[in-house]
Amino acid sequence: MDETREDILYFLKTQGFLNEKTVLQEHDSLSETGVIDSITLLQLVDYLESKYSIQIPVETITPENFDTLAGICQTVMKLKNG
Amino acid sequence: MAKTARTCNTCVLDETTPGVSINADTGLCQFCEHFTPLPKEKKEEYRTRMDTLLKSPPHQGKYDVIFALSGGVDSSYTLYRLKKEYPDLKILAVQFDNGFISDTALENARKFCNLTKSTYLRLCLDQKALRDTFSKAAVSRDAYPGTAKYRASDICNTCISIIKQKIIELAVTTNSPYIVFAFSPGQTDAPFVTLTKPFLVWMRKIFDGNLKSMGVTERDAYLIDPNLIRPGSPEPRVTIIHPFLIWEYNKPEFKKECLKLGWIDPDLKDHNSSNCLLNAFAIKNHLDKYHIHSYAFDLAALVRQGNMKREDAQEKLKVDNSDPSIQEVEHRLKG
């Protein structure tokens, strides 16, 4: 879980979506804090699919699953474990 | 002695742009350092998928494709090529009239619709309300997230988001299976986006929030009809396709091809748009507010991917504050 979290933060930082000083809490809304929008979200989905060799079904792209670090980590874990 | 700002050795980004850092050892920006080109096999896989979708569309509605047509080079070329490669497609080409598109762009759009036998729709919204919305975008700060600020100016982000919302609405109401946008490979990463109701609800909410933070009070006209995405409504069966992530992207060649087909060069002073008079003003506004050239990241990505020469991108990043359209737009937005 921690590793997934670090990967997501690494992606957001290296792609310029998050600056070095921003501290994100587990349940902060990524869309409301301005970290992601529709295009960034799709880039993140693409990154996670490549990184973990998983398929993220479109119906799982919801705020519950993708708007917080905690939600994304849980979704990735579920998909990784089949 | 003052330290000079370093520019990335590969692309056009420099460290005066907020969020850009140049590695002193490699001379590369963080985007070039982490860049992985799309493997050839992946591109072929995308090509096969696009062919499969567009060669035999499900014919579920009156149109197979709702196409976003600005009348500029990229979209005019894309419309032409789509019809050339997939002649049976029934296309509704939608040109959004934001009140600032050039007469030449209107003429080019109609011409290319005739050429491709596509149905033309000029999408008009209340012009006074639109002007007011663009004025609010111009004076707003941080209405869009940092990532969106890199992609486009606040004015262009507003305009593009309205277009997206209305085009999706049109696709859902006409039961059209595909939407095609001629975004450059610097503007988007995803060749296909399948729309689902929760995703659309979320996107509507985000854009509504952006408009709200700019102080736009009458927002419904800019957003997808909520009845189309309410619980119990049918699932949308729409996929967005971005062909420039699949075809080679070579703008000078596209322009040559378009000119041969009768496309007219509007000869605007602005290097980055051949259709919208707002653009030069929007670039200046963004630079003044955030010190970010709204085309820098798009052009940098094109250079990084090998789709544009570095010197051509640098030329496009030159800002000409004497462009008369800047004062004209300023005046019209105040009125």
Looking up tokens 């005046």, which residue turns up? B331
Strand-pair category, B239-241 with B192-194:
antiparallel
Residue A77: both structure tokens together = 């874990």
Band the pLDDT of B271: cuts 50, 70, 90: low
Residue segments in chain A with a per-residue pLDDT below the cut of 70: 1, 16, 19-20
Contacts of B134 by beta carbon, 8 Å cutoff, 6+ apart: B98, B155, B158, B159, B278, B333
Nearest by CB to A42, which of B31, B190, B198?
B190
Nearest Cα residue in chain B from A11: B34
> Domains of chain A by range and CATH?
2-80 (1.10.1200.10)
Q: What is the DSSP letter of B22?
A: B
b/e burial code for range B158-193 (CB count within 10 A of at least 16 → b): bbbbbbbbbbbbbbbeeebbbbbbbbbbbbbbbbbb
CB–CB contact B146 A39 (8 Å): no
Banded model confidence at residue B3, pLDDT cuts 50, 70, 90: low
Is some CB atom of chain B closer than 8 A to the CB atom of A69? no
Q: Rounded mean pLDDT of B32-39?
A: 89
pLDDT at A32: 80
Question: Cα angle vertex B273, ends A41, B43, to 5°?
Answer: 45
Q: Which CATH number fits domain B36-335: 3.30.460.10, 1.20.210.10, 3.40.50.620, 3.40.1180.10?
A: 3.40.50.620
3-state secondary structure of B28: coil
ipTM value, please give it: 0.78
pTM of the model: 0.91
* In chain B, % of residues over pLDDT 70: 97
Residue B225: HSE in the Cβ half-sphere, 13 Å Cα cutoff? 10
Interface of chain B toward chain A, CB-CB under 8 angstroms:
19-20, 30-31, 33-34, 142, 144-148, 150-151, 188-190, 193-196, 198-199, 202-203, 205-206, 209
Q: Exposed, middle or buried, A32 (CB in 10 Å: 0-12/13-18/19+)?
A: middle
Choose the closest CB to A34 out of B146, B188, B195: B146
Q: Of B130, B94, B245, B137, whose CA–CA distance to B184 is shortest?
A: B245
Half-sphere exposure of B330 (CA within 13 A, CB side): 12
For chain B, give every domain's residue range: 1-35, 36-335
Cα nearest neighbour of B193 on chain A: A42
> What pLDDT, on a 0 to 100 scale, did the predictor assign at position B43?
92
Model confidence over B13-28: pLDDT tens digits?
999 888 888 999 999 9
Query: A32 and B209: CB-CB below 8 Å?
Result: yes
Residue matched to tokens 């007219």: B264
| 8-state DSSP, A31 | T
Q: What is the pLDDT of residue B216?
A: 97
User: What is the pLDDT at residue B321?
Assistant: 82
Nearest-by-Cβ selection for A36 from B33, B147, B150: B147
